């Protein structure tokens, strides 16, 4: 899998620096909820209370995981149950915690010395957790041969400063174009020819905007604009918000200004709602034909397959349009999730043995995860990817083919530098949209904001080499 390298990898943490409500949306749109499930019995997610004691003689390992898709929870529950039955030493107990409660709950538990031994984090959160000393390195706990199975972009997240820090679960592109073929046909457009350029997107959007239906659903709030545009920032500027060595802002170039102008042109054309309907990548308004196109992540396709299977005949997917129609440029970033061991775990070897069983013993365990998700996420493990490709359902899936060939191989990895510089970019675009601020002036304001943050927090000294 080819990943565009921007001189050195550029990185960002989502998991530790900003509020989880915005962070967790970066890698899946289904991260909120109120229900929770343990590997054995349900329990309230908002308390993460211990479940029943493990079987006699077994040591309990506490695992917290953010609430994501229902099928994701079902997968964890099934395979943790299998692991618990496979041996008589430990009992893994999983609690699914809503995204909007995650940050506060985990920090409070860590401060009180009651943190779970195992928890999940966005792939881009590994670096900041490593720098903060909240997770444990894995090299003394895991057979080194395990790491040979990682793909290059999986290794870029898991292997930092000479050590391995997490088990990557999946990667997925943050931005693509979903469109309704039925609405295209009704508007006199070719349902097999989605727009590939910015000009075509606006032209088609105008024809599709009628009868209470918007041409496209696009991100509008500053949080979503911060991370959904990473691919486009790399495409137009060749870099993200700060320099390779994390020492200074890098947002006043023509590329960032062009990005803001593009978003403004979409909203000035009145083909998109002034406020995103039901949030970024929401599948419901798209499935209900309230919008004809939507900018979203690949996970949206998996949700549509699970929740609206009867609509799939009407749904097409393409790379998100570029200025000149060339898809061999980054249009998305690759995000995803990883599982880590808490720095203060009392049973790190047992934790590592469990994670090795889940991620590295049998590729069919993780292959089952991707099957449940409709093959719209991608594995950072080579053996799992091989197992997936042996399934005709994956090999012949038209959505996976487009995403793999025209999006994933040209995407950039999410950055690992702190969240604040990316947020400043989102705020700059948001000012252009909502306040009609001059783009150059808006990014000059962001430039100062980022440089102040870098100086105040000594960010350059923390740069990942």
Given a cut of 50, whether residue 29 has pLDDT beyond it is: no
Range with the poorest average pLDDT among 63-67, 123-127, 140-144, 423-427: 123-127
Nearest to 202 by CA among 55, 337, 321, 358: 321
Q: In what order do the strands lie in the sheet with 176-180?
A: 214-217, 291-296, 176-180, 315-318
Query: In the prediction, which pLDDT does 45 show?
Result: 40
Mean pLDDT of 402-408: 95
Q: Is 323 within 8 Å of 201 (Cβ atoms)?
A: no
Q: How far apart are CA 128 and CA 16, in angstroms?
A: 7
H-run or E-run covering 227: helix 222-227
Q: Is 107 within 8 Å of 69 (Cβ atoms)?
A: no
Per the domain annotation, does 396 fall within a domain?
yes
Given a cut of 70, whether residue 26 has pLDDT beyond it is: no
Per the domain annotation, does 27 fall within a domain?
yes
pLDDT tens track for 2-20: 233 332 222 233 333 333 3
Copy the structure tokens of residue 361. Answer: 């013993």
**β-pair partners for 283:** none
Query: In the prediction, which pLDDT does 281 show?
Result: 86
Quote the percentage of the chain above a pLDDT of 90.
Answer: 84
* Alpha helix ranges (H) inside 57-178: 70-86, 99-112, 125-132, 152-158
Given a cut of 90, whether residue 404 has pLDDT beyond it is: yes
Given a cut of 60, whether residue 465 has pLDDT beyond it is: yes
Query: In the prediction, which pLDDT does 149 show?
Result: 97
Q: How far apart are CA 409 and CA 260, in angstroms?
A: 25
Query: In the prediction, which pLDDT does 52 show?
Result: 52
Alpha-carbon torsion angle 335, 336, 341, 342, nearest 10:
60
Mean pLDDT of 414-426: 96
Per the domain annotation, does 179 fall within a domain?
no
Nearest to 51 by CA among 87, 89, 94: 94
Nearest to 294 by CA among 279, 305, 306, 309: 279
Per the domain annotation, does 164 fall within a domain?
yes
Given a cut of 80, whether residue 39 has pLDDT beyond it is: no
How many residues does this entry show for the chain? 465
User: 197 in helix, strand or coil?
Assistant: strand
Given a cut of 60, whether residue 107 has pLDDT beyond it is: yes
Per the domain annotation, does 58 fall within a domain?
yes
What CATH number has the domain bearing residue 353? 3.40.190.10
Domain ranges, residue 398: 11-173+335-408
Nearest to 70 by CA among 34, 100, 122: 34
Q: How many structural domains comprise the chain? A: 1
Query: In the prediction, which pLDDT does 54 show?
Result: 67
Higher pLDDT, 31 or 367: 367
pLDDT tens track for 198-225: 999 999 999 999 999 999 999 999 999 9
Exposure on the CB side of residue 113, measured as CA atoms within 13 A: 1
Per the domain annotation, does 311 fall within a domain?
no
Give the pTM.
Answer: 0.85
Mean pLDDT of 412-441: 96
Going by pLDDT thresholds of 50, 70 and 90, the confidence category of residue 57 is confident
Given a cut of 50, whether residue 41 has pLDDT beyond it is: no
Query: In the prediction, which pLDDT does 420 show?
Result: 97
pLDDT tens track for 156-180: 999 999 999 999 999 999 999 999 9
């Amino acid at each position: 899998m080819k990943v565009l390298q921007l001189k050195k990898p550029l990185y960002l943490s989502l998991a530790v620096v900003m509020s989880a409500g915005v962070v967790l949306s970066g890698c899946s749109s289904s991260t909120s909820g109120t229900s929770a499930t343990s590997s054995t019995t349900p329990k309230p997610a908002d308390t993460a209370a211990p479940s029943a004691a493990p079987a006699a003689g077994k040591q309990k390992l506490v695992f917290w995981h953010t609430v994501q898709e229902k099928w994701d929870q079902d997968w964890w529950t099934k395979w943790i149950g299998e692991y618990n039955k496979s041996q008589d030493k430990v009992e893994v107990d999983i609690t699914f915690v809503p995204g909007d409660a995650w940050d506060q709950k985990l920090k409070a538990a860590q401060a009180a010395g009651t943190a779970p031994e195992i928890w999940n984090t966005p792939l881009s959160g590994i670096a900041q957790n490593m720098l903060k000393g909240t997770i444990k390195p894995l090299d003394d706990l895991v057979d080194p041969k395990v790491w040979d199975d990682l793909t290059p972009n999986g290794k870029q997240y898991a292997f930092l400063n000479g050590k391995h820090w997490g088990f990557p679960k999946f990667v997925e592109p943050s931005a693509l174009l979903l469109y309704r073929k039925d609405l295209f046909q009704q508007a006199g457009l070719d349902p097999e020819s989605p727009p590939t350029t910015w000009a075509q997107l606006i032209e088609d959007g105008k024809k599709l905007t009628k009868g209470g239906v918007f041409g496209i659903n696009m991100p509008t709030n500053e949080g979503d604009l911060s991370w959904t545009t990473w691919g486009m920032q790399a495409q137009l500027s060749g870099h993200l918000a700060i320099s390779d060595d994390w020492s200074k802002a890098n947002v006043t170039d023509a590329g960032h200004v062009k990005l803001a102008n593009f978003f403004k042109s979409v909203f000035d054309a009145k083909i998109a709602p002034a406020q995103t309907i039901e949030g970024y990548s929401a599948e419901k308004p798209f499935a209900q034909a309230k919008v004809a196109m939507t900018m979203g992540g690949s996970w949206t396709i998996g949700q549509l397959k699970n929740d609206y299977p009867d609509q799939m005949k009407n749904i097409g997917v393409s790379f998100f349009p570029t200025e000149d129609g060339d898809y061999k440029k980054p249009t998305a970033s690759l995000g995803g999730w990883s599982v880590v061991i808490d720095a203060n775990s009392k049973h790190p070897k047992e934790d590592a043995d469990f994670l090795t069983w889940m991620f590295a013993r049998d590729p069919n365990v993780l292959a089952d995860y991707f099957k449940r998700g409709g093959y719209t996420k991608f594995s950072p493990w080579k053996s799992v990817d091989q197992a997936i490709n042996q399934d005709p359902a994956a090999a012949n899936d038209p959505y996976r083919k487009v995403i793999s060939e025209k999006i994933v191989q040209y995407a950039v990895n999410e950055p690992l530098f702190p969240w604040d510089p990316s947020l400043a970019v989102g705020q700059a675009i948001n000012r252009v949209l909502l306040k009609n601020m001059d783009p150059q002036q808006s990014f000059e304001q962001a430039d100062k904001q980022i440089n102040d943050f870098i100086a105040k927090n000594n960010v350059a000294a923390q740069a990942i080499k």
